[in-house]
A and B are shown apart, each in its own frame.
Chain A
Amino acid sequence: EAQVTQNPRYLITVTGKKLTVTCSQNMNHEYMSWYRQDPGLGLRQIYYSMNVEVTDKGDVPEGYKVSRKEKRNFPLILESPSPNQTSLYFCASSFGGKETQYFGPGTRLLVL
């Protein structure tokens, strides 16, 4: 089944403790992206990647890192999480940046 998977689905952590949210797609998509969704603010893009080893900032990149060492994986790294990064995170992928993006199930993060 073609899909985007994210792990973990739920995470509670404390301020400053590094964490990684993984994202994997099995559709051979070149383009991958991370969004966060917050009440009243909608979905906002954090980082995106047009292909392996090519990443770029979205609208809200502060406090996040990403890497794209393989085509299928696009992990989101929070080196020192803070409470304002409490949010619902979605990974998405597509064939190139100009095509329909397919979303993962989401990761709900709470930073205490």
Chain B
Amino acid sequence: GESVGLHLPTLSVQEGDNSIINCAYSNSASDYFIWYKQESGKGPQFIIDIRSNMDKRQGQRVTVLLNKTVKHLSLQIAATQPGDSAVYFCAPRGDQGGKLIFGQGTELSVKP
């Protein structure tokens, strides 16, 4: 079946540094990708999305890069802050019923 893998289950960065979270997906037909942030005790929160006809999209302090050739996404967070500490998921849309395919997530810890 379809799968999503993140390259590192945990990532620790210093406050103010840039963070890069990577994600690999299996379904070459995926046409839409969402990055979610999940803080402890809360539901996943939308950060940024990208469609397959784009290779880069920027938001406020976040940038998502999509490489369809190798089926890889990355989320870059500029000037990482303590409030960025959370688990981050990339979620490609699957083939059926709008289902999002979630991987295990990467836990980002920001050291002050």
Q: Is the interface of A mostly helix, strand, loop or mixed?
A: strand
Complex formed: what's the CA distance from A97 to B34 in Å? 13
Q: Which residues of B have CB within 8 Å of A97?
A: 97-99
Complex formed: what's the CA distance from A59 to B45 in Å? 22
**Chain A proximity of B54: nearest CB distance (Å):** 15
Q: Which residues of A have CB within 8 Å of B46?
A: 100-102
Interface residues of B in 34-92 (CB under 8 A from A): 34, 36, 41-46, 49, 89
Is B102 among interface residues, defined by CB-CB distance under 8 A? yes
Contact B89 A50 (CB under 8 A): no
Which of these, A4, A44, A50, A105, contacts B97 with CB under 8 Å?
A: A50
Q: Is the interface of B mostly helix, strand, loop or mixed?
A: loop
**Chain B proximity of A3: nearest CB distance (Å):** 10
Interface string of A89-104 (1 = CB under 8 A from B): 0100010111011111
Is B100 among interface residues, defined by CB-CB distance under 8 A? yes
Complex formed: what's the CA distance from A96 to B97 in Å? 9
Contact A43 B99 (CB under 8 A): no
**Chain B proximity of A10: nearest CB distance (Å):** 11
Binding site for B on A (CB under 8 A): 4, 31, 33, 35, 40, 42-45, 48, 50, 56, 58-59, 90, 94, 96-98, 100-106
Residue pairs across A and B with Cβ atoms less than 8 A apart, 12 shown, are A40-B104, A45-B99, A48-B98, A50-B97, A59-B99, A97-B98, A98-B98, A100-B46, A101-B98, A103-B44, A103-B45, A105-B42
